[in-house]
Amino acid sequence: MGRNILIIGASGDIGTAISKQLADEGYNLILHYFQNKKGLEQNRNGLDKETVLMAIQADLSQTEGIHYLLDQLVFPVDAVIFAGGQAHYGLLQDMDETSMDAMLTLHVKAPWTITKHLLPGMIQQKQGRIILITSIWGEVGASYEVVYSSVKGAQNSFVKALSKEMAPSGIAVNAVSPGFIDTKMVQHILSEEKARIIDDIPANRVGTPDDVAHAVSFLMSEQSDYIHGEIIHVSGGWCS
């Protein structure tokens, strides 16, 4: 393959699984992380050293952090995967404006700005992949996660709209929409509640980060060349 892939949020469970999947398939990786340096190092240690071009630490919930990341990119980028993010649990009326702004910047402005920066190179090459890891809550919504549901819905709309602009240039824009995936993001859920959720999932199990990585792998492949603007559910049939 030899293509260079920027993975946003490479220190998380899903980002780590995607990194391993794509490294095994011969891609070169640029790994972004923010606070979880230990997770990033564990991810790197599990990969062939030659597959990792560089790692970049940046806070993408701040505009300055977005521009810092872009300033650090010294390699051409053939594809970008937005696998990072942060959930926020609680009632909407209890959420302060600063937290709202950070969620908007992290989940909406960062993909906008990073993608805008990378598009000229992809357009010149007449090929590229832009993949966002969104959430089923971006489509059906979730109580106590109103802002998270809102920004994930914005990501889905971004994918659908941008795909129409980019398809003529050979650039595919798609999303993977996970359901209940076994990551640190759901560790706060009590075992009894988790069991009830599993009962509601037709596949009768929790999803894994590898399930998400396999969908990303397909969207990165030539077999998906005619897929543009799709939100692919990886949910075991839950909430569909």
148 is known as an active-site residue: yes
DSSP string over 28-81: EEEEEESS-HHHHHHHHHTS-GGGEEEEEE--TTSHHHHHHHHHH--S--SEEE
Tell me how far CA of residue 174 lies from CA of 43, 44, 132, 227, 230, in angstroms. 25, 26, 7, 8, 5
Which of 27, 68, 144, 148 is an active site residue? 148
CA 20 to chain centre: 15
Alpha-helical regions (H) of the chain: 13-24, 37-45, 63-72, 97-104, 110-125, 137-140, 146-166, 191-200, 209-220
Looking at the DSSP bridge assignments, the partners of residue 79 are: 5, 129
Measured CA to CA, the distance from residue 31 to residue 8 in angstroms comes to 7
Measured CA to CA, the distance from residue 96 to residue 83 in angstroms comes to 25
Looking at the DSSP bridge assignments, the partners of residue 186 are: none
Catalytic residue annotation: 148
